[in-house]
Structure 1
Amino acid sequence: MPASATTDARTLLVTRALRGFADGAVSVLLADYLSLIGLSPLQIGAIVTGTLLGSAALTLALGLLGHRLGLRRLLLAASALMFATGLGFLGVTAFWPLLVIAVAGTLNPSAGDVSVFLPAEQASLSGTVEGRDRTRLFARYNLSGNLAGAVGALASGLPVAAARRFGWDRAAAERSGFALYAAVAVAVGVLYWKLSPTLDQRAGAATASPLRRSRRIVFRLAALFSLDSFGGGFIVQSLLALWLFRRFALSVETTGAIFFAAGVAAGFSQLVSARLAGRIGLINTMVYTHLPSNVLLILATLMPTAPLAVGFLLLRMCLSQMDVPARQSYVMAVVPPEERPAAASVTNVPRSLAAALAPLLAGAMLSRSSFGWPLLCAGVAKTVYDVLLLIQFGALKPPEETADTAVAAGGSRRSP
């Protein structure tokens, strides 16, 4: 933990871990559970799309209202909605009601965080640490989420194992994952309640105009992030699990173990990301780690056996999330503190909307073929994003990188 981090920073890392555990478990169970209750791959894709569309709308609304309601209140409201979402999936099995709950709720079908919590937590986190430590703190924030998500993915096999051992109905056993989701929401809400009342002032959340000075750069970043997220929507964890089920007939337990390993690899890679960003800069870190991961994703599509495909997917996960703390830190660094909640919201909402378009397409592809067309589409879209990001923002440095460059240049001029 960076030396300048406050107690609130530690609390937010714990809440990220708890949410990551719940998301990791549910994202693996979701596709198999929905299949067991009779939904088709296309309907599953529609529900996944609904979760992302709903998250996008809520994220935009709460992010732009953050300067009025306060970050702490927004986080408490989000935890209450998470609780209601868990209860909804626990008690409903028909497609159309589930689709409504998916749109209105907080369910996250992805290994990453694309939920309504994200902009409020990002803005809050930025106010709990000094600028020089921001990327390191974001790396630990994402590490906590990835590791807990990996454990959650591994735990997703427990209901299936219990059903097999005790002769329970498998769908009913897997439904218990949504009870866990609701319970985690309660725990997260209690922790949010304990956050410091001064959190909003330190995060710079009070402003009459959510995006006044940084509108242009935020919109440009949002457009690029949307392209990346559109590609990511083809391979959200629930649909990637569905592909593994259909392509290689893997079990839920095996798939959960794979995602556990992937989450661990992704989590620890983000610690390397913070160090790398300190050497080559935030934008270079985002691009030069992301491009190789896209190549590995495309190669996984072409593999004829499960071990080879899984091997390339795991190699990809060693690189694919290294851009996340760099991206989050970059957005917070290039906008004024008082505009951070809105900037986090506006850069994440188009990502959720773009990601929401792809799962329905991926579900349709998987309905017709078990070949990894969704993975191929994801790899191509993400590669285009990397190239455009480097071209448009490679020369725009955040203040701390500019200061470091100036110091280094001054030191070299004073050297004999």
Structure 2
Amino acid sequence: MKLQSVLLSFSKFVRSFVLTMIAVITPFYLSGLGLSALGIGAVIVLAVVISTVFVYTFAYLKVNLRNRMLLLASLFTASMAILLFSSGFYLFIVALIIGGITLSGRDMTANETIEKFSISTYEPSQRSKNYAFSVYNFSSYGAGSLASLILFIYGSGNFQFYFLIDLVLAALQFIPYLAIKFPEKIERESPKKFDEPTLKTVRKLSYLFAMDAFGGGLVVTSVIALWFKAVYNISLSQAGLMFVIINVVTAVSIIIASMLADRLGLIRTMVYSHIVSNFFLIMVPVFHTLLLSQIMLYLRQTTSQMDVPGRDSFINTIIPPEHRIRSNSNFLVVRNGSQVPGPGIAGLLIETAASSVFFLGGGIKILYDILLFVSYRNYKE
């Protein structure tokens, strides 16, 4: 694994720490301001829309990759400063807008498209790509574990303390972006439009990813935190502990995913692990007790993100190098955009039929798994 890939994984780590912490505390922060579950769901929807606009805008920005990344880091850091030095609902929204912050709890930012493209360029072989993307995604969930652990240990409603930590970490993104050389030459020589075979592949995958993302939008981190708060009245400290376990389990599974992909192949690893995960997702509300709901959620996480490094490696192999930034941006816009209705629908369902959030989300995602397997079961690596 190249040093450049390691440094970009560090960037992923600090960004994911911030995004996880913000996603978990948002339902508690906004409910303290008097918002209902439906209102909080609407804010999560707004955050997804803003993040989608960021991804689309920065994919076509006419500046080199390094300056693009430095601008993104500057805006992200500025948004954390606003959260730290201000309070209230409207300035919270301003911070979301300036930083392009998604409240999904996952790093689906404009940074990610350029980082993935760069890693796919640095790593020469399929095996090294599989490993590099596993480490890259592992860093995300390792960061999520640490962020959740701090919430569990500190367990206070002093949100400014959390925002201070987020500000310091957000500023650390400048280190890797200033230290490495981005593959500017390939990006400059990329054609403005997809060729016909690539366009066909991008469209097909976009439809599939849209379905998966719509189901995922119903169960993003903020929605899960909101559901457990609404149904079981858990505290911020309890939520922190729950997400510590979730992220630790997920981080371990990400590393195992690389080994499985080498043995089973990318598509089978993606599909088999995802179906198991979504079965447990559907089971979360079935038993009507906090402990059993949490156990089902933890079991879900054992395979929930095993498809992510495989998907990253698959996309950045099946798509030619000159089209990867544009295609990664396209897929991220599709995934973010398709998540938009989810939190709003989830907020409404939590107030009316809470269990249906997991039934609907898991069912849609299983349908995606089946269609992906049917479409690419004969893919040769």
The TM-score with structure 2 as length reference comes to 0.94
Q: After the TM superposition, which residues 351-370 of structure 1 pair with which residues of structure 2 at under 5 Å, given as runs? A: 351-369=335-353
Matched, 1:22 2:18: yes
Per-residue CA deviations over 1:134-157 (Å, capped at 9, x if unaligned) read 011101110011111111012123
Aligned to 1:69, the other structure's residue is in SS state: coil
Within-5 A mapping of 1:2-401: 5-65=1-61, 68-91=62-85, 93-96=87-90, 98-132=92-126, 133-161=128-156, 170=157, 173-196=158-181, 198-201=182-185, 204=187, 206-212=189-195, 214-369=198-353, 371-397=354-380, 401=381
C-alpha separation in 2, matches of 1:332 and 1:99: 34
1:229-270 deviation per Cα after TM superposition (whole angstroms, max 9, x unaligned): 111111111110111111112111111111111111111111
RMSD: 1.8
2:8 match: secondary structure: helix
Return 5+ residue gaps in structure 2 as ranges: none
* Counterpart AA for 1:176: F
Cα distance in 2 for residues equivalent to 1:97 and 1:174: 14
- SS of equivalent to 2:173: helix
SS of residue paired to 1:302: coil
Q: Helix, strand or coil: the match of 1:211?
A: coil
Identity across the alignment (%): 28
- Alignment length (residue pairs): 379
In the alignment, is the contact (CA less than 8 A) between 1:159 and 1:176 conserved in 2?
no
Equivalent residue of 2:331, what SS?
Answer: helix
How big is the shift at 1:38? 1.7
Tell me which moved more, 180-189 or 338-347.
180-189
CA shift in 2, pair 1:275/1:160, >3 Å: closer
**Alpha carbons 1:283, 1:390 under 8 Å: kept:** yes
Aligned-pair distance for 1:63?
Answer: 1.9
Moved more, 105-114 or 8-17: 105-114
Instruction: Go from structure 1 to structure 2 and tell me whether the alpha carbon gap of 1:256 and 1:205 turns closer, same or farther (over 3 Å shift).
Output: farther
Rg larger for: 1
Q: 1:317 is aligned with what amino acid?
A: Q
Q: State the 1:326 CA deviation.
A: 0.5
Q: Distance in 2 between matches of 1:88 and 1:128?
A: 36
The CA deviation at 1:295 is 0.6
> Do the aligned partners of 1:205 and 1:340 also contact (CA within 8 Å) in 2?
no
